[in-house]
Structure 1
Amino acid sequence: MKVKKLLMCVSFLVSGQALANVTEYCPSPADIKELAIGVYKAPTASGDGEWYGVSQTGRGPVGEFELAIFAPRIAAEISAVAGEILRCGYMLQNGGELDMRYKREGTVVSIDTNGPWEEWFGQYYCDSKEVRACAFKEVVRTTKR
């Protein structure tokens, strides 16, 4: 049922209006700030939103990027898939893990399956340590002025 709703939403977004794709990435560990004990926030690459995260197992500064997970919903093009970023995972410097979530649940994005994203049990993951390697494009509706 959720897939049908997502398909209907994407169809609505595509019909009659151009879509702009904004390239985003998992935030750099240096950009992630701890707001309160175990509560983290980081700006998106476009500056048009924020990443949010809560650590259940640690606190303190963010160490290194571990893994991004993407859940596909529909095929967008030959080498791209549309769906949702489930999380970007990090290790904390003082021990523990942090999962950062992109904007809000259900934000539609697409990934290029010819890049560092690898399919695994129906989802995709990216564990590249290169800066901005785990890129994705948010599907954003342009506004008329």
Structure 2
Amino acid sequence: MKLKQLVMCVAILLSGQAWANVTEYCPSPSDIKEVTPGVYKAPTAGGADEWYGTSQTGQGPVGEFELAIFAPHKDVVDAVVIGEVLRCGYALQQGGAVDMRFKREGVVANIETNGPWKEWNSRYYCENKEVRGCAFKEVVRVAKR
């Protein structure tokens, strides 16, 4: 009987539904590395992908987080809104700025409106300077079998 329960738990955890919403965050400035002058990468919290960014106004080490911007695709339902993380912005230590983009354009995510994300002018902004302060959940489409 215990073997059946163990097999059932493993099957549930490995199913697409169990991992359908992965919590992500704007990367910590210390996790963002300049790979070539003005081009930056950072791992996602889930570790399976990367954030990408380029700076038009400078290069060198990343300084501090400034703000994240989220564009809603739908209206708020139960304090959750679905949309897209447009960018996480950072100041560079030697002047200039870099905008980090989550994976690729069009990745669907959701945020909770009762947390650090505040609505202004049809967008949501997060200026929480704490590590993992601007959390969102990537909405992963579960493949049908």
* SS of structure 2 residue aligned to 1:30: helix
Aligned to 2:115: 115
Residue 72 of structure 1 pairs with residue 62 of structure 2 = no
Q: Distance in 1 between matches of 2:85 and 2:79?
A: 17
Aligned to 1:92: 92
RMSD: 1.6
The 8 Å contact of residues 76 and 110 in structure 1, kept in 2 or not, is answered as no
Q: Distance in 2 between matches of 1:86 and 1:52?
A: 12
Identity of aligned residues (%): 69
The alpha-carbon deviation at position 96 of structure 1 amounts to: 0.5
Q: Distance in 2 between matches of 1:141 and 1:101?
A: 20
TM-score by length of 2: 0.84
Aligned to 1:43: 43
Structure 1 stretches of 5 or more lacking a match? Answer: 1-16
The 8 Å contact of residues 80 and 111 in structure 1, kept in 2 or not, is answered as yes
The number of residue pairs the alignment matches comes to 129
Aligned to 1:25: 25
Residue 124 of structure 1 pairs with residue 124 of structure 2 = yes
Q: Distance in 2 between matches of 1:97 and 1:110?
A: 26
Structure 2 stretches of 5 or more lacking a match? Answer: 1-15
CA-to-aligned-CA distance 1:11-65 (integer Å, 9 cap, x gap): xxxxxx8471100000000000001010000000001211000000000000000
The alpha-carbon deviation at position 133 of structure 1 amounts to: 1.1
The 8 Å contact of residues 111 and 137 in structure 1, kept in 2 or not, is answered as yes
The alpha-carbon deviation at position 141 of structure 1 amounts to: 2.6
Aligned to 1:138: 138
TM-score by length of 1: 0.84
